[in-house]
Amino acid sequence: MEHLTKKELKASIKNKLANVLGVDTETASDALYYKALSMVVVDILQEKRRRFSVDTNSNGKKQVYYLCMEFLMGRSLKNSLYNLEIVDTVRDALDDYGVKLEKLYDYEPDAGLGNGGLGRLAACFLDALATQDYPATGYSICYEYGIFKQKIVDGWQTELPDYWLPGGEVWLSAKPEKSVDVHFGGEVEEFWDNNYHHINYKNYTTVKAVPYDMYVTGYNSKGVSRLRLWKATASGLDMERFNRGDYIGALGANSMAEVISKVLYPNDNHNEGKSLRLRQQYFMVAASVGDIINRHMATYGTLDNLAEKVAIHINDTHPTLAIPELMRILLDDCGYSWDVAWNTVTQVFAYTNHTVMSEALEKWNEDLFASLLPRIYQIIKEMNNRFTYDLYNTYHLDYPTVEQMAIISNRTIHMANLCVMACHSVNGVSALHSEIIKKDVFQQFYRIMPHKFTNVTNGIASRRWLYQSNEGLTRLLKETIGDGFLRDMGQLEKFNPFVDDKNVLDTLATVKLENKQSFCAYIERTTGVVLDPNSIFDAQVKRLHEYKRQHLNALHILTTYQWLKQNPNAEFTPHTYIFGAKAAPGYFLAKQIIKLICTLRDEIEKDPVIREKLRIVYLEDYRVTLSELLMPAAEVSQQISLAGTEASGTGNMKLMLNGALTLGTYDGANVEIAQHVGEENMFIFGMRTEDVAREKASYDPRSIYRDNPVLKDALDQLSKGIGGSTFPDIFHSLVDRDPYMVLKDYDSYAAAHRLVMSTYADQYKWQAMSLRNIAQSGFFCADRATCEYAQNIWELR
């Protein structure tokens, strides 16, 4: 059905317009054509998924369920058309109606159900699993408001609600008959009868989880992944309160239930926010695990074979409560003994860690937890008792070590410890990161259970950032190496032999220039700013965080600006610095860094001489769709986190795939990029992880400030003011504390920039380096990453 003829496609679109939307093809607006076409595509995807599920169930195949609080899906229409390989047929059909397909794409909002890399990774994995015909379901929350829309006002980030559902709802299929009840609060009564442990859970409040399904088709495959998103609704109206005249009280309870799926991640710098986050997490996992169990029982009629047929993956610690929730179902609802239930749980669950910073590992206050989730709390306490008993009596560990490894210690519940203790597999997301979690973050666990620890380096939905976003490069690759790379990105290595072919290098340069011109046209259309496409396009696009060191980039731009002010006639290759980043709403220093970057931008714009050589672009509301426009245009990929702080990064992979050269530290997946492409085809700077560990104890940023006149001038400018704005918090953060050693790495970073400029002057050398990056980027495809998960961790056949 996915290979519709043009005639069938036209008839389907006409049918949707007439019978669902009530218009004819002559009077329908582009917005209605977008809706009609999307409905046709959803029908195709549902039918394809139905056939795929029949095959999966009839053959008793093991299935993977991927739990993540975030899925940064972006737009679905373009992705679906390209993966179904019907984009040309659709374009032709719409042309007959006088409608341009490219215009329809813009009617779809980004499904921004995530903050950044974590949620985008989950979305890429659904695409890759479907492409390889692995049966997969993702689970998350149907947030009514996705990640906030970022508006920059006077240089400051302000947050506006992202109401993505008008325009996005067409991709969601409601399944109310699959709803699951989720319980909060209440009390637990326990009693024993004939050596059987009984639980009576009462006086709880119930929230109904209603599922909405999105479908992600694989490329040139039978597979379709399903993303099931849960919407919270009240279980019913409290008629007793309503009849008493307490209308606000009766309806207020409903509102409190429904707030769970209103907004992606509330601020948690207050108790109400913490409570809501915990509610969101349990709501998502209770609904998802309930759904998994219901589906498994409908297929097999028993849970005895659950571990044989089901793999549940916990992506970061947010879905950890799935572990005690499955224990609850097996113990309380099904009557299994603790040992049998525990054996099942430990075989079913696997965990991916996404942070090297122990302070970022999730923890919950024990009292808050016990009041909100009393039965789950009891189960976690029992897990902790058994685990710590084992640590003392089997492994003979001392008290401080046991406290460090315990699930509950100091009135705090440690989610990562629960994951590592209960899951059969624990992986990091780059080779360096996986070594750090073994040697540092989970060092004690690794000593006694080394068999659990493994690595799966992240991967990206390469087709999205190449085939769908970079038409010129895709065409060049097809002409030189054929089109097999679209199915197997490892075949990009066939591009390597063209590294000395000047015709190919010239074409590569032309493709990059055309992509830069497209990006410039977008910037002019949306901001009125006219950029020079012949300048170096240097991009740092990722979440705004101190460890990612956007302020190192800004500091270097400031020193360059000061130097150009003193040397306005110096030889200088024009440079356009492109930033795209959102700061967490409660993260004040990150917002100040945005203000600093925007203030620098505005100062440079006022100077007609310097702005010919130096420009800053701050991409407001950076998102997947903007990324698809930027990645093909960028030439320098800034990946400058302090070594040992970035778990992996995936923007580095998207930029590499499109031929940008990495200017980066030896951190995260940069290490493996260097191994694949060679450090001579990158610009590596700064300390290594072991240098950071050695230097940290005695690090004194003030001495660097005192002894480096270039840095001192720039830092003093932050205090004195730029364009009427002062930045004392950034100044003191860098000079007094500098937790991410910006000043220590500054000179090495500045030297790397000088090397970028001198290399760029030799365009054949630059394009040859670019070609090698493209040719070696196949390893970083999500197809490879998900295949490693499927075979080595989930044991899917």
Q: Which residues contact 3 (CB under 8 A, 6 or more apart)?
A: 85, 86
Name the DSSP letter for residue 54: H
Q: Find, among 61, 137, 126, 72, the residue nearest to 291 by Cα.
A: 137
Angle at 238 between CA 236 and CA 244, to 5 degrees: 155
Place of tokens 């998207």: 654
Angle at 207 between CA 204 and CA 211, to 5 degrees: 150
Q: How many residues does the chain have?
A: 797
Q: Select which of 75, 183, 313, 548 is catalytic.
A: 548
Name the DSSP letter for residue 151: E
Residue 529 to residue 363: CA distance in whole angstroms: 45
- Is-contact 362 318, C-beta < 8 A? yes
Q: Among this protein's residues, is 542 annotated catalytic?
A: yes
Q: Select which of 279, 433, 438, 654 is catalytic.
A: 654
Backbone angles phi, psi at 556, to 5 degrees: -70, -40
- Is-contact 558 714, C-beta < 8 A? yes
Q: Select which of 543, 613, 623, 744 is catalytic.
A: 543
* Alpha carbon distances (Å) from 771 to 685, 700, 758: 22, 41, 18
Backbone angles phi, psi at 669, to 5 degrees: -80, -5
- Is-contact 338 353, C-beta < 8 A? no
Residue 757 to residue 755: CA distance in whole angstroms: 5
Residue 361 to residue 370: CA distance in whole angstroms: 20
User: Containing H/E element for 618?
Assistant: strand 614-619
Q: What is the 3-state secondary structure (H, E, C) of 548-588?
A: HCHHHHHHHHHHHHHHHHHCCCCCCCCEEEEEECCCCCCCH
Provide the angle, in degrees to the nearest 10, between the axes of the packed helices 742-760 and 763-775.
Answer: 110
Q: Among this protein's residues, is 582 annotated catalytic?
A: no
- Strand, coil or helix: 510: helix
> Which residues of 347-430 form beta strands (DSSP E)?
349-352, 363-365, 408-409, 412-414, 425-428
- Strand, coil or helix: 534: coil
- Going 637 to 638 to 641 to 642, the CA torsion angle's sign is positive
Beta bridge partners, 181, equal 208
Name the DSSP letter for residue 262: T
Instruction: Quote the distance between the C-alpha of residue 303 and its chain's center.
Output: 33
* Helical segments of 316-356, H only: 322-328, 338-348
Q: Find, among 404, 403, 406, the residue nearest to 418 by Cα.
A: 406
Q: Among this protein's residues, is 548 annotated catalytic?
A: yes
Q: Among this protein's residues, is 205 annotated catalytic?
A: no
Residue 530 to residue 520: CA distance in whole angstroms: 7
Instruction: Quote the distance between the C-alpha of residue 115 and its chain's center.
Output: 7
Q: Among this protein's residues, is 726 annotated catalytic?
A: no
Q: Among this protein's residues, is 270 annotated catalytic?
A: no
- Is-contact 188 204, C-beta < 8 A? no
Instruction: Catalogue the long-range contacts made by 385-391 (C-beta closer than 8 Å, 24 or more residues apart).
Output: 387/421, 391/448
Place of tokens 């008493």: 244
Residue 129 to residue 146: CA distance in whole angstroms: 24
Beta bridge partners, 201, equal 188
Q: Most distant CA pair in the chain: distance in Å? A: 92
Q: Write out the two tokens for 673.
A: 């990029």
Residue 475 to residue 621: CA distance in whole angstroms: 30
On the 0-12 / 13-18 / 19+ scale of CB atoms within 10 A, 314 is: buried
Residue 300 to residue 645: CA distance in whole angstroms: 45
Just list the catalytic residues.
354, 542-543, 548, 650, 654
